[in-house]
Structure 1
């Protein structure tokens, strides 16, 4: 029997993340320095450069990653983005909750604010889950907006954060009951939702606005009364993408290559593995060096 040839040591190595454009970004594609405990900010020192998560909830498959941006990698700074993937509500009114936050760069403790607000918003929304579920079934955008405002205001009150903790926040709620096709999206600040339909990314829109990507510098805690909400309907073959501006900005650049690259990678119907999703989400584009958080949802056929 002939011996089996050994595979090259690097046969399964992906190498550096892909880049879009003729030249790669100037920053190296890997972390360099990192915060120190001696800097006096233990939260920053213990925040990992990459947070990776995923879940299978019925026919829903979730993949999420929060990455330290190239500029923070170069400077050895802390990741200011945060995300939460969880379920809320009782079994008869259960919702998949996906939350992202992008700490405002000029705020000293924005990394703490983004981390805390995604979690406390989930706690507050869990208390309102049955009301939110009923409003989804009734397709009552006004009630959904009122519940969202109440929950965010409550979360800010619980946390007692000030402007040093400024952050954006976006939350997507998806019923785990496949018979309910409505979803609700709400948030404050830039970033937001895209839907992959027939190979193309389409932006969601907030109530009373024509463009989901708000260019104003709205952020929590001061903008807790400015929560935008949107009721939307999706189908199983569509992929939902919730992201901070580290990914939504390159998705909307004039050159469509970045958007096409991710559309090809995530068009489904199968969700990628966690490691594949991480590698794909790291796709680089020159001049886009901010932290990047992206959560995608795939839905299997009935």
Structure 2
């Protein structure tokens, strides 16, 4: 190529170059730069380039795209799927949201969707919290909350999974649900070794006492003077695969299901004279005690912890919703995070509340 010309503007009509007559020499320069091999760096100095017609060769696109080895076709999920003949009337995507100017900074900055996950040994976790259709339509914030974390020392480590559902009747329920899951994790961490020992001993009485002590401590961490009202469900799973017992601590609606043999089984305790109806219970004031449920699972079973936004449609008379999730989550492998979110958003008419769901898969030895 010719040497640099110090900041001279190219000129000419491009005649005799094979470039259309209206093209300027600057166009030839641009085309020349585009034809340089990868890795060649050209200075900003303008270059005068003389290109003969027989030297110009326009790169030709291949007749058909060539996929890289192992490349999979792109899958566009689109709007969340639905059960029933028609989808719900609400739009399936987030619409308006609170403003900082409304005076509730926490609500204004609360995301419409949370997505989380973990892999600990043979255990895989997927978690999603999604603003409900009604809140999307109203422009109010998501009142559900969730926490996925580990507590306890290595020799007594537990996987802690928590979901909370703020009651719409309380002005600051969204803040209460957010605070209670974190406070529960902190206070249960202080009791982790005792919980671990009680699980080994299958001591339900000790687990119930620990749960009530820890939740009383967690409630004390809520801000005074705020209108908090929230449910809470905490599932504790030992990371030591030799311990098959798990424990659920519960206050209020929602709870735990186990997928066994393709069917969802409710794992919450049955109501009796010593227990309040969980449909009326809420933290921090409207509860008498924390329910404690000890259960034993085996690898291959799937645990589903959720707020009533997902547990209610899971137990509806029409089993299609339950069948959809059993099919999606009952396979040998946990779904990807994005697939799990899409599946968790499966819609059903009349069920438009916030939806928070955490699933646990465990591989066999």
Using the size of structure 1 for normalisation, the TM-score is 0.95
Structure 2 residue matching 1:64: 3-state secondary structure: strand
Give the Cα separation in 1 of the matches to 2:225 and 2:202: 34
Give the Cα separation in 1 of the matches to 2:225 and 2:164: 16
Asked if 1 retains the 8 angstrom alpha-carbon contact of 2:276 and 2:288, the reply is no
Structure 1 residue matching 2:78: 3-state secondary structure: coil
Residue 216, structure 1, aligned to residue 272, structure 2 = no
Residue 188, structure 1, aligned to residue 251, structure 2 = yes
Residue 269, structure 1, aligned to residue 332, structure 2 = yes
Asked if 2 retains the 8 angstrom alpha-carbon contact of 1:241 and 1:294, the reply is yes
Please name the residue that 2:142 is paired with: 79
Query: Residues 169-248 of structure 1: matches in 2 within 5 Å?
Result: 169-206=232-269, 209=272, 214=277, 216-248=279-311
Query: Residues 149-160 of structure 1: matches in 2 within 5 Å?
Result: 149-160=212-223
Displacement of 1:206 after TM fit? 2.1
Please name the residue that 2:228 is paired with: 165
Distance 1:215 1:133, change over 3 A: closer
Asked if 1 retains the 8 angstrom alpha-carbon contact of 2:281 and 2:287, the reply is no
Please name the residue that 2:114 is paired with: 51
CA displacement, residues 223-262 of structure 1 (integer Å, 9 cap, x when unaligned): 4542100000000010000000000000000000000000
Residue 292, structure 1, aligned to residue 355, structure 2 = yes
Displacement of 1:3 after TM fit? 2.9
Bigger strand fraction: 1
Structure 2 residue matching 1:284: 3-state secondary structure: coil
Give the Cα separation in 2 of the matches to 1:84 and 1:209: 29
Asked if 2 retains the 8 angstrom alpha-carbon contact of 1:247 and 1:293, the reply is yes
Displacement of 1:161 after TM fit? 4.3
Q: Which runs of 5+ in 1 are unaligned?
A: none
Tell which has more relative contact order, 1 or 2 (C-alpha 8 A, sep 6+).
Answer: 1
CA displacement, residues 18-70 of structure 1 (integer Å, 9 cap, x when unaligned): 00000100000001101100000000000000000000011100000000000
Task: Give the RMSD, CA atoms, in angstroms.
Answer: 2.0
Displacement of 1:103 after TM fit? 0.0
Asked if 1 retains the 8 angstrom alpha-carbon contact of 2:306 and 2:356, the reply is yes
Using the size of structure 2 for normalisation, the TM-score is 0.79
Deviates more, 1:223-232 or 1:93-102: 223-232
Structure 2 residue matching 1:269: 3-state secondary structure: coil
Please name the residue that 1:33 is paired with: 96
* Aligned residues between the structures: 299
Give the Cα separation in 2 of the matches to 1:191 and 1:256: 18
Displacement of 1:187 after TM fit? 1.0
Post-superposition, which runs of at least 4 consecutive aligned residues in structure 1 deviate over 6 A? none
